[in-house]
Amino acid sequence: MSRLIDAYDAAFFDLDGVIYLGPLAVVGATGALAGLRELDKKVMFVTNNAARSAQVVIDQLNSLGFQADDHTVLTSAQVAVTHIARELPRGAKVLVSGSASLAALVEQAGLVPVQTAAERPDAVVQGYDPAMTWPRLDEAALAIQAGARWYATNDDASRPTERGLVPGAGGAIAVIAGTVGGQPTIFGKPFPPMLAEAVRRTGAEHPIFVGDRIDTDIVGAANAGMDSLMVFTGANGKSDLVATEPGERPTHIGADVRALLEPPRTVQVEPARASCRGQVARADTGTVRLDAVPLTLDAQLDALWAITQLVWDDPALDCTEALASLELVG
């Protein structure tokens, strides 16, 4: 029986909500990653979270039982600073509206991190910082109005944690955008530079991206011309999946990253009917109905994949009751 990963030479993973939730590893993730290494698949952890240095991420992954090093972890901060250093002359001033680790990367790249608009920075770079303050946002807005170039590591609206969703870097970007107008140049998912760098570093020819967020992970994979696996351990769930538009839709779905080592879900679609591994969804007078309520998580995901295909073909269908019966799916 073929595994989903058999069609790919590499797997790229988002971290928050996919590999871990705050300080905790997602159930089954360590074993799945070990299984991929046994199959000699290339692995890279690709995170939009720019608040922490790559080494801190590496240390956390290793402490949770994963194998990680400089070659397998890529942050949006690293990608952003690499590109910014190519565009600005050495010694240029950059107002860092982000974490200390982002400022350190700016300095290591031969640029000068500053904190105030009065220092007349050549650029502003925003990144997630849990200690962000309004006065620091003021300085970023003032610097941009004075002519500084505007960059951002990523624009995630939220971050999944073990306690639930919390605001992400996108909130701080929205504050500045609402003040000065326009948008920054953004490097993290779903924008192409992030996954392009992952491909360059790994030499992957046919990778798959695994993520929990549609707006960053799944759309990012699509923008990179890459297949994707959506998992249900983080930010987005069944209703989000069904509501996606073309260009936002995953190639595969699974409960968690262990789906890579399992057979891929396939759907047989007929007029007003879709089936996936024995789970059947039907379109009946404008409503999607299941032949039977599936009881296990795997069966509910099969049913969800069947429902999804019907609704994607006909968005006017009402699948509210069918989705409500899938209680085990996020």
pLDDT digits (tens, 9 = 90+) for 163-198: 888 888 999 999 999 999 999 999 999 999 999 999
Same domain, 165 and 197: no
* Residue 299: domain span: 268-324
In angstroms, the CA 172 to CA 98 distance is: 10
Nearest one of 266, 216, 207, 259 to 236, comparing CA atoms:
216
CA distances from 194 to 44, 82, 182, 255 (A): 12, 11, 22, 25
Is residue 122 within 8 Å of 148, Cβ to Cβ? yes
β strands within the chain, DSSP E: 10-13, 20-21, 24-25, 42-47, 73-75, 93-97, 112-114, 123-126, 149-152, 158-161, 164-167, 185-186, 207-211, 227-231, 252-254, 268-270, 273-276, 279-284, 287-290
Provide φ and ψ at 281, rounded to 5°: -115, 140
Q: What CATH number should be reported for the domain holding residue 257?
A: 3.40.50.1000
Residue whose structure tokens are 């994607």: 312
Q: State yes or no: is 314 an active-site residue.
A: no
Of the residues 6, 9, 16, 70, only one is catalytic, namely: 16
In angstroms, the CA 158 to CA 133 distance is: 17
Gap between the terminal Cα atoms of the chain: 27
Same domain, 173 and 230: no
Q: State yes or no: is 59 an active-site residue.
A: no
Radius of gyration for the alpha carbons in the chain, expressed in angstroms and rounded: 21
The CA angle 177-179-185, to the nearest 5 degrees, is 25
In angstroms, the CA 294 to CA 325 distance is: 8
Which portions of the chain are predicted below pLDDT 70? 1
How many domains does the chain fold into? Answer: 3
Residue 75's pLDDT is what? 96
**Last residue of a domain, which of 127, 160, 185?**
185
Of the residues 6, 14, 70, 129, only one is catalytic, namely: 14
Residue 56's pLDDT is what? 95
Residue 16 is assigned to a structural domain of this protein: yes
Q: What is the pLDDT of residues 264-305, one digit of tens each?
A: 999 999 999 999 999 999 999 999 999 998 999 999 999 999
**Last residue of a domain, which of 127, 156, 185?**
185
Same domain, 297 and 319: yes
Same domain, 172 and 93: yes
Residue 1's pLDDT is what? 54
Give me the residues paired with residue 150 across strands.
124
Same domain, 178 and 146: yes
**Last residue of a domain, which of 162, 185, 208?**
185
